[in-house]
Structure 1
């Protein structure tokens, strides 16, 4: 039997019609879309930077990072500010959905086909909740830039 301490809270959000989640403790804030300032010679998933109260914040397009195409950002999109390893990064998503609690036994490993193409390094697991599948993201890996 799983103890209560094996549960974690996640914030769920949408990108490309799919539901993803991040540990709630990694989320610093959620803010509306703001145009980014593009940067030269960065990977295609880096949208650019924004000024967050005097701090330069890089913004990553979640869809592009996961190989699902580039987000056509509108005022309906949001930026989730994530704090990992003393570094803040913005994550462009379509919308924020919910806060969920996931027990350890509800998490399944990523499908084998994901492991073959390297995409699984961004995915901690898949949680099936109320008939829907939520992809639990590995935020530290997701927000690292490729050299």
Structure 2
């Protein structure tokens, strides 16, 4: 038996993704986002969450997927990566599941159009349900984090 992992499930398009619940601070409805000049296109700007300014990234844009207009389902998942809070815009986030680490396989080269370096693995939850586990430290690699920290200042 592997270890039990609690995972927040969210969607981008038709694919389901997972983030370790320990790394997630909160899940918010879409908030007013203040644009920030001279950043990557997928960096949407910053939000003010209870007095804390948090950079927000569109995960679709980050992965080179077509960006979409926010809907009632759109959520911002606030995660903690290397002592920094960042918000990820996702199509929806509606589930917390327990996952056995044994069901997580090494990711193939590309899953759902996303390069393997952004992924921790792929978990088969049932015959017709795959969960793509994100590698948060790659999704926000160092040089981008440095840029984002500049935003907060």
Asked if these proteins are the same fold (TM beyond 0.5), I'd say yes
Aligned position for 1:123: 119
Distance 2:100 2:133 in 1: 12
More displaced, 137-146 or 64-73? 137-146
Residue 47 (structure 2) pairs with residue 46 (structure 1):
no
Alpha-carbon contact 1:38-1:47 (below 8 Å) kept: yes
Residue 62 (structure 2) pairs with residue 65 (structure 1):
yes
Residue 86 (structure 2) pairs with residue 89 (structure 1):
yes
Alpha-carbon contact 1:60-1:143 (below 8 Å) kept: no
Question: What pairs with 1:1-147 in structure 2 (closer than 5 Å)?
Answer: 2-3=1-2, 6-112=3-109, 114=110, 119-130=115-126, 131-144=128-141, 145=144
- Give the C-alpha shift of residue 118 in structure 1: 8.0
Alpha-carbon contact 1:89-1:143 (below 8 Å) kept: no
> What is the CA RMSD across the aligned residues, in angstroms?
2.0
Aligned residues between the structures: 142
- Give the C-alpha shift of residue 97 in structure 1: 2.4
Q: TM-score, normalised by structure 1?
A: 0.87
Structure 1 outlier segments of 4+, above 3 Å? none
Superposed CA deviations along residues 5-40 of structure 1, whole A, max 9, x for unmatched, are x22110001112210010000010011101211111
SS in 1 for 2:27: strand
Alpha-carbon contact 1:45-1:70 (below 8 Å) kept: no
Q: Return 5+ residue gaps in structure 1 as ranges.
A: none
